């Protein structure tokens, strides 16, 4: 892991972006991400939060404006060149909303080995990192399993493990709890908290306001006009009912409990003992088909 606490990891300056032939989906967005932050990007569907993660990951590039990583502009040419490109791909991990889009190898072990082997690591180092990462996420029992046959919660942890095996310093997370049952959701949030405690920078896109206190210390709100309209700590952002109504993140029938806004239906994160040192036998049972 490179860099020091508090340095600017990403600098986003007046970014405008549209997919080919499509309307603008980011309009003049500017912000910094600091080392060690837990930052949430929130907005209604179509506001541009997932697109912004794709830009931070160098999957697309701004039509106007600039994104820099550790002071270096993120451009296609820079990412294609060594040493910056390989270092960026190792240091910045992207967790897709749909785990099936991220898992493509015959076994879980193969999934974890793929990235390190692409980086040219030795077999001994790859084996050691796989062992450590499987143990960290408590999925050693899945090592020889076929990823397509896993439950949604198991797939999400395997996808996360395939990133963590490279020892990244930044994780970009697109709706990480989407499609998970409450127990798997709670476990994933616990894992992310532990990773943050280890010093990882976490940038999460979500539209689930109930998760913000568990995912972020700072919240950026995108409007349906694809502009940044709020930047603050979770509590004051959640208390700003007028702003949340304006960006279509809550509806008129939402109400207040204390200072925080809650919407119908209520969603609650399941509380349970810390994952490390406690094995939950039934947390990853295959979910019923819908």
Report if residue 94 sits inside a domain: yes
Report if residue 249 sits inside a domain: yes
Range of the domain at 176: 8-262
Residues with Cβ within 8 Å of 175's Cβ and at least 6 positions away in sequence, in order, are: 50, 97, 205, 206, 207
**3-class secondary structure, 189:** helix
Q: What is the pTM of this model?
A: 0.85
The per-residue pLDDT for 253 is 55
Report if residue 244 sits inside a domain: yes
Enter the DSSP assignment of 289.
P
State the Cα–Cα distance between residues 113 and 166, nearest whole angstrom. 9
The per-residue pLDDT for 141 is 96
Report if residue 225 sits inside a domain: yes
State the Cα–Cα distance between residues 9 and 170, nearest whole angstrom. 9
Average pLDDT over the chain, rounded to an integer: 87
Report if residue 285 sits inside a domain: no
Which CATH number is 37's domain given? 3.40.50.300
**3-class secondary structure, 45:** coil
Asked if the bond preceding 83 is cis, omega within 30° of 0, the reply is: yes
How do residues 248-283 score in pLDDT, each as one tens digit?
998 765 444 444 444 433 333 333 333 333 333 333
Q: Is there a contact between 157 and 134 (Cβ–Cβ < 8 Å)?
A: no
Q: Is there a contact between 51 and 16 (Cβ–Cβ < 8 Å)?
A: no
Give the chain's domain count. 1
Report if residue 277 sits inside a domain: no
State the Cα–Cα distance between residues 249 and 222, nearest whole angstrom. 10
State the Cα–Cα distance between residues 191 and 203, nearest whole angstrom. 15
Nearest Cα to Cα of residue 216 among 92, 36, 57: 36
pLDDT in tens, the chain (290 residues): 344 557 999 999 999 999 999 999 999 999 999 999 999 999 999 999 999 999 999 999 999 999 999 999 999 999 999 999 999 999 999 999 999 989 999 999 999 999 999 889 999 999 999 999 999 999 999 999 999 999 999 999 999 999 999 999 999 999 999 889 999 999 999 999 999 999 999 999 998 899 999 999 999 999 999 999 999 999 999 999 999 999 999 876 544 444 444 443 333 333 333 333 333 333 333 333 33
State the Cα–Cα distance between residues 204 and 193, nearest whole angstrom. 12
Alpha helices in 58-181, H assignment, sequence order: 76-79, 84-91, 108-118, 123-136, 152-164
Report if residue 271 sits inside a domain: no
Q: Is there a contact between 41 and 222 (Cβ–Cβ < 8 Å)?
A: yes
The per-residue pLDDT for 207 is 86
State the Cα–Cα distance between residues 148 and 243, nearest whole angstrom. 41
Alpha helices in 8-140, H assignment, sequence order: 49-56, 76-79, 84-91, 108-118, 123-136
Helix axes 123-136, 152-164, angle to 10 degrees: 140
Report if residue 288 sits inside a domain: no
């Amino acid at each position: 892991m490179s860099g020091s606490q508090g340095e600017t990891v990403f600098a986003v300056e007046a970014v405008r972006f549209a997919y080919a032939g499509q309307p603008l989906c980011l309009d003049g967005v500017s912000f910094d991400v600091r080392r060690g932050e837990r930052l949430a990007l929130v907005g209604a569907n179509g506001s541009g939060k997932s697109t912004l993660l794709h830009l931070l990951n160098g999957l697309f590039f701004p039509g106007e404006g600039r994104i820099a990583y550790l002071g270096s502009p993120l451009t296609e040419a820079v990412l294609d060149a060594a040493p910056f490109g390989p270092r960026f791909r190792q240091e910045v991990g992207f967790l897709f909303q749909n785990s099936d889009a991220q898992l493509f190898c015959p076994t879980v072990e193969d999934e974890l080995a793929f990235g390190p082997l692409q980086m040219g690591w030795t077999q001994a180092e790859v084996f050691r990192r796989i062992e450590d990462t499987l143990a960290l996420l408590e999925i050693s029992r899945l090592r020889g399993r076929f990823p397509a046959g896993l439950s949604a919660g198991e797939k999400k942890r395997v996808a996360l493990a395939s990133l963590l095996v490279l020892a990244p310093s930044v994780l970009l997370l697109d709706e990480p709890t989407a499609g998970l049952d409450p127990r798997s959701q709670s476990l994933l949030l616990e894992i992310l908290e532990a990773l943050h405690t280890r010093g990882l920078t976490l940038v999460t896109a979500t539209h689930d306001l109930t998760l913000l206190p568990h995912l972020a210390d700072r919240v950026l709100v995108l409007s349906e006009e694809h502009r940044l309209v709020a930047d603050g700590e979770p509590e004051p952002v959640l208390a700003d009912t007028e702003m949340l109504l304006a960006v279509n993140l809550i509806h008129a029938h939402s109400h207040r409990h204390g200072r925080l806004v809650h919407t119908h239906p209520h969603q609650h994160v399941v509380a349970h003992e810390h994952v490390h040192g406690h094995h939950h036998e039934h947390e990853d049972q295959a979910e019923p088909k819908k």
